[in-house]
Amino acid sequence: MSSQQPLVTIVTPSFNQGPFIEQTIESVLSQDYPHVEYLVMDGGSTDETLDVLRRYEGRLVWVSEPDRGQSDAINKGFRRARGEIIAWLNSDDVYLPGIISESVAYLQAHPEVDLVYGDIQFIDGQGEVIEKEVRSKPFSLTMLLTEFSTLHQQTAFFRRDLLDRIGYLDESLHYFMDIELWVRIALRGQGAYLPGVRAQSRLHDVSKSISQQERFWAERRRVLDQLYTQPDLPGEALRARREAYAHCELYWGENLLDLGQRSQAQPHLWHALRRHPRTRRRALALALLVDSALGTHLSELGRSVRDRVGGHPTPRQMPDPPN
C-alpha cells in the first residue's frame, strides 16, 4: 500500500475478557493494511487479560486502569487516537481479513461519506460460526430510530474529524452508546452501507436478569427522549417518532417474554399496539401468548374485528386498545 494511506486507529475497550481478547488482537494485527495504531484500554482486569497484553508489547499500546465503563474506556482511546480514521472493536469480537483496507478504500473514494459499515457473523464462545451472515441496512435516520441492531458497530469505521464536529460517546450510556452516536452522525453527516461480512460478533454465556433487561430498554427509550427534546429536528426524525417509540416498546416486550416475564411484558406490548400500525400485528401476536387479561381481551378484540371485516384483521383494521 502507498505511504499516503491514512493512519487508522482501532480502540479496544477491555475488562476481564481474557478467554477472548487474544483472538480479537490477532484479528487486528493480522490485517493487510499497514498503517494501524492499535490501542487497548483495559479497565483493570483481574483475569489473564494483562498476561495476554504483555505478550503484544511493541505491537500495540495498552493501558490498564479503573474506568467508568465501556463508553469511558472507548472515549479514552478516542482522545489518544492519532488516526484520520477510527473504529472500535470490543474485546470479544473479531475482524475478518481485509476489513480495514476495504473500509479505508471506500472512504477515500467517497469523501462525502463520514461512516462506512457492513455485515457480520455471529460466533459462539469457542469461535464457531452460529450464523454466517447478519445483514445491515442502508444508512438512514429512520432506520436508526425504528430498527434494532441494523448498523453493526463491529464493522463501523468513521472519520476522526467527525468526532470533532459531533462529540464523542455519551458516557452516561452503557448499552446504546453506539446507536446514539450513529443518530448524531445521521443528523449532521453521511453514512454508507458496504455489503459483505467483515466482522464476527461473539455470543457467549452472560446471565440476563429482569433488571438488566429493564436497564437495557429503558436506556433505548432515554436515547429517544433525549433526541426528541432537541429543537429544529429534521422532518425525517419527526415523522419517525411514533414508529421509533413503538418499536422500542415492541422489542422491550418481546425480550421480556423471552425471559418468561409475561406480566412485565404486558404494558410494553400495549404501547406497541397503540403507537403505530407497523408494530401492531407483531405486538398482537405476542400479546396473545400472554396468559392474562391482556391476552383474553385481545382475543375477543380480534374476534370482533374478524366478525366485522371477515378473515384476519390487518393492522389498519385493528382498533387501538382503550386507554
Say if residues 89 and 28 touch (Cβ distance below 8 Å): yes
CA distance 3 to 317: 62
Q: Which three cell numbers stand for residue 288?
A: 396473545
Task: Give residue 23's identity as a one-letter amino acid code.
Answer: Q
Work out the average pLDDT over 129-148: 94
Q: Which three cell numbers stand for residue 169?
A: 460517546
* Radius of gyration for the alpha carbons in the chain, expressed in angstroms and rounded: 22
Q: Strand ranges (DSSP E) for 138-210? A: 157-159, 191-202
Share of the chain above pLDDT 70, in %: 87
Note the pLDDT of residue 17. 92
| CATH 3.40.1790.10, applies to 8-202 | no
Say if residues 242 and 230 touch (Cβ distance below 8 Å): no
What is the per-residue DSSP string for 232-300?
A: S--HHHHHTHHHHHHHHHHHHHHHHHHTT-HHHHHHHHHHHHHH-HHHHHHHHHHHTTS-SHHHHHHHH
Report the predicted TM-score, pTM, of the whole model to 2 decimal places.
0.85
Run of H or E residues at 36: strand 36-42
Note the pLDDT of residue 286. 85
| CA-to-CA separations, 84 to 6, 107, 156, 297, in angstroms, rounded | 6, 11, 14, 57
Q: pLDDT of 38-73, one tens digit each?
A: 999 999 999 999 999 999 999 999 999 999 899 999
pLDDT band at residue 313 under the 50/70/90 scheme: very low
Q: Which of 64, 7, 16 is nearest to 40 (CA)?
A: 64
For cell 385481545, name the residue.
298
CA distance 314 to 293: 22
User: What phi and psi values does residue 115 have, to the nearest 5 degrees?
Assistant: -140, 135
CA distance 196 to 53: 30
CA distance 62 to 27: 16
Location of each CATH 3.90.550.10 domain in the chain: 8-202
Q: Which of 66-75, 213-222, 297-306 has the lowest mean pLDDT?
A: 297-306
